[in-house]
A and B are shown apart, each in its own frame.
Chain A
């Protein structure tokens, strides 16, 4: 249980275009999802926290108009990188905090991570 998927796993786009990345909790409901960015050989940098049905909370220094986050349901959050530029190339990872649903249980104090999306902007 507690599986999080991301789509796409890799994307290459031209500078100036927008790219949408999906994050889904497959077998549990996630009231809170997190978006991270990871630069090569470095740790994860939290970009924003999104709660289902409300606006995302962005970390200091993260442009909310450039990185649009939508958390429309308890199993789906999307990150849209608008007007992408080469410096936006990175590994984007989402995570989800669990909520017990029926017989499936995901610990509410644990974040479960997706496999990541490699974005390359040409």
Chain B
């Protein structure tokens, strides 16, 4: 079945450090790929998405590129801030499929001043 694997956390960085959170997927068909962010005590917010190969999603300084050849959608940010501390979830839906979101286990990021 479809699945998402993302790097285990927690990840702890200093402010202005470079961030990469790895995400790879297994899916039949042509999935759409998403990164969601969950701040403490809150629900999920869509951070960015990509719907086809080579698309780059970007938002708030975060970027991720849909790589079909490596089945990856790694999240990157050049300079993290304390306010980026949250849990990040990689997810996919299969187009024309069940419409369900399949989530990775989440990666907790803590950014220290």
Contacts and interface: CB of A to CB of B under 8 A. Distances in A.
B73 interface: no
Contacts of A49: 98-100
B51 interface: yes
Given A49-B99, A49-B100, A43 B44 contact: no
A111 interface: yes
Interface in B58-113: 89, 93, 95, 98-101, 103-106, 108
Interface in A95-115: 95, 97, 109-115
Interface size on A, as a range, is 20 to 34
A42 interface: yes
Contacts, number: 48
Contacts of B45: 113
Given A44-B44, A46-B100, A97-B99, A109 B105 contact: no
A6 interface: yes
Given A6-B43, A112-B46, A114-B43, A32 B103 contact: no
Interface of A: 6, 32, 34, 41-44, 46, 49, 93, 95, 97, 109-116
10 contacts: A34-B101, A43-B89, A44-B44, A44-B103, A46-B100, A95-B101, A109-B95, A113-B46, A115-B43, A116-B42
Given A6-B43, A43-B103, A113-B43, 18 more contacts: A32-B99, A34-B100, A43-B104, A43-B105, A44-B101, A44-B103, A46-B101, A49-B98, A49-B100, A93-B43, A93-B44, A95-B101, A109-B51, A110-B32, A113-B44, A113-B46, A114-B43, A116-B43
